[in-house]
Each structure stands twice: as C-alpha cells, then as structure tokens.
C-alpha cells in the first residue's frame, strides 16, 4: 500500500478561512484580536517562525506586535516585557518564542504569562485545565494534530494510540488529548525497552522525538495512521540520500539543505494507511491553532476569568 497524504497545509487554510468570520464578528463588537510576541536574540529559526506567525495575523486582519530583544537580555528584562503585555488591553494573546537564551529563566518567564493570554497553552493553569478535561488553551501542535484527525474523519475512540516523545510542549498534551478522545494511549521515549514492539501496537502513531528519520517501517503496524511532528534541518548529503525521495533529493542537491520529520517517509509511507509529510503536515497547523487560540482569547477578554 501507499499511504494517503494528510495535507496539513490545506487543512490550515480551511481553519484560517473559518477564523476570518470569527475575527469579523469580534470586530463588530469593537474587538481586534491582538498577539504580542517576545523574541529574544537572533536565533534564525525562531525569526522565521515568528515571521510566519505575524504573516498569519496580517492575513486574518489581526493586530500583532513583536518585542525584539537582544540576546544579552536578562530574565528581569524579559519578564518586564511579558508583564507589559499582560497589562495591555490591545494584546489578547502572548507568545514567548522558544528557545530563550541560557541566561534567561524560561520556566519563570512562561509562568508570568497571564493564563487568559497564554495562547501557547504552556501555563500550569492551562495544563491543569487540560488534565481536568476543561481545556481553555491547548498547546498548538497537539491541538493541530487533533484538528487534522477530526477533519480527515480518522476514528480515535477505542483505538490504540502511541505517542513517541514526552515533552511538555507536544508529547504530554498530545497524550492527554488522545486520552480525552477515548483512545488507549501509550507514551514512549528513547529509553523505552523494545521500542519498535511498542510503536507497532499503534493504530495511530504520533512521532515527536526530535530525531530525523528515526521512525522506520519496522516501528509501524501495517495500516497505521502516522503523524510526524518532527521538524529537522539536514545538510549532510548521505543523510539526504537516506531520508529523501528522488524529487526532494534533487531539491536538496540544489539548495544544500532540507527539512525532514522524525519519520523515514520513503519507507513508512509504503506501510502506513495515512501519513503527514514534512514540510506541509503538522507545521502549518501549529500556526493556524495559534491564531485560533488568539481569537478565542480576544473573545474571553471582557470576562478576564481565570
């Protein structure tokens, strides 16, 4: 079999189109959703991510502001910027772009974000609400995966789901969302004994381990749905020959680099029933769900209920 491609980019466009009506409805109430971004340092990938997010704001007619701070910024200086955004009525959602420089206490900074402006879903209050099945803001990447599964009518209830990766940003909230959708969920990681045997139990396999091409055909049950959350930049020609099909390899040879996921796409697509590509899979959904959370935050703003 050759897997059906789950088109995250097309799904993200549909979500953004739906959000335009919500933004217009808020505008009729005199509310323009606003996103405040804190970007510290000159991390190239972070700058690209922020640019993509602010472009999405512009497409939807939302307000956005980016606080570009030097790499030498202290925890106190970054905290002051977050607290300023907390106070401002025109900022409904706050995004602290990670990673932060090593001298900045990221845990403290994320804890300072007002929970009703925490559109990344990282604050302990929002994590707790998710655990209680009362979600307000859910981390954007796992929420985007759930949107993709729903819009492709992929059943979750009663199925075995395996999440490969245990991060606070993806793995743990992903597992909780699947559990709330009545899947039987296993979280595994690099220290899981006989990892391929565990991942082969999955009807739905979520790969979020952060290692290029790690998930191979031997990890996948025939007919499984495979969702690749990884985004890895490769520059080594030997690695490219292993991970890319002929079309993408030609592009790599021209550019000298390529983005790949945590799944070995050429082999796994011949074993899975459905699979997300990288790029064009989960990545665009992460941005779409950030926009959705920001619009939701704008709607909650008058109540300010924590």
User: Is residue 25 within 8 Å of 55, Cβ to Cβ?
Assistant: no
| Residue range 128-152: mean pLDDT, rounded | 97
Q: Quick check: is 152 in a domain?
A: yes
Please indicate, yes or no, whether residues 107 and 166 belong to a single structural domain of this protein.
no
**The token pair that represents 138 in the structure block:** 């859910």
Three-state secondary structure readout of 168-226? CCCHHHHHHHHHHCCCEEEEECCCCCCHHHHHCCCCEEEECCCCCCCECHHHCCCCCEE
The terminus-to-terminus CA distance of the chain in angstroms comes to: 49
Q: Is 245 a catalytic residue?
A: no
pLDDT recorded at residue 201: 97
User: Is residue 58 within 8 Å of 294, Cβ to Cβ?
Assistant: no
Catalytic residue among 118, 120, 203, 228: 120
- Above 50 in pLDDT, residue 305? no
Among 294, 300, 257, 288, CA closest to 145? 288
Q: In which domain, by residue range, is 161 found? A: 140-283
Catalytic residue among 53, 117, 172, 292: 53
pLDDT recorded at residue 302: 63
Please indicate, yes or no, whether residues 157 and 242 belong to a single structural domain of this protein.
yes
Domain boundary among 101, 125, 149: 125
| Mean model confidence pLDDT for the chain | 95
Q: How many domains does the chain have?
A: 2
Q: Is 117 a catalytic residue?
A: no
pLDDT tens for 72-121 read 999 999 999 999 999 999 999 999 999 999 999 999 999 999 999 999 99
Q: Quick check: is 226 in a domain?
A: yes
pLDDT tens for 161-204 read 999 999 999 999 999 999 999 999 999 998 999 999 999 999 99
Q: Is 4 a catalytic residue?
A: no
pLDDT recorded at residue 47: 86
Query: What CATH number should be reported for the domain holding residue 238?
Result: 3.40.50.720
Q: Quick check: is 7 in a domain?
A: no
């Amino acid at each position: 079999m050759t897997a059906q491609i789950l088109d995250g980019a097309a799904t993200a466009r549909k979500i953004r189109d739906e959000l335009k009506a919500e933004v217009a409805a808020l505008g009729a109430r005199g509310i323009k959703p606003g996103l405040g971004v804190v970007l510290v340092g000159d991390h190239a990938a972070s700058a690209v991510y922020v640019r993509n997010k602010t472009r999405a704001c512009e497409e939807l007619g939302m307000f956005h502001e980016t606080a570009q701070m030097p790499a030498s910024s202290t925890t106190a200086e970054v905290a002051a910027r977050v607290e300023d955004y907390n106070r401002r009525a025109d900022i409904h959602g706050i995004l602290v772009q990670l990673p932060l420089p090593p001298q900045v206490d990221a845990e403290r900074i994320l804890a300072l974000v007002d929970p009703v402006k925490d559109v990344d879903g990282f604050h302990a209050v929002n994590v707790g609400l998710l655990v209680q099945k009362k979600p307000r803001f859910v981390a954007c990447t796992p929420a985007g995966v759930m949107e993709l599964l729903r819009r492709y009518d992929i059943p979750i209830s009663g199925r075995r789901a395996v999440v490969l990766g245990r991060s606070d940003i993806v793995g743990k909230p992903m597992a909780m969302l699947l559990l709330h959708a009545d899947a039987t969920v296993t979280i595994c990681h690099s220290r899981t004994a006989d990892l391929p045997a565990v991942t082969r139990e999955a009807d739905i396999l979520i790969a979020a381990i952060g290692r290029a091409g790690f998930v191979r055909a031997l990890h996948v049950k025939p007919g499984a749905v495979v969702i690749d959350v990884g985004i890895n930049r490769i520059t080594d020609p030997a690695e490219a020959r292993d991970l890319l099909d002929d079309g993408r390899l030609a592009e790599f040879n021209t550019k000298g680099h390529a983005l790949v996921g945590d799944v070995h796409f050429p082999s796994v697509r011949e074993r899975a029933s459905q699979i997300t590509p990288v790029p064009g899979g989960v990545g665009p959904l992460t941005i779409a769900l950030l926009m959705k959370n920001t619009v939701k935050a704008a709607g909650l703003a008058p109540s300010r209920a924590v």
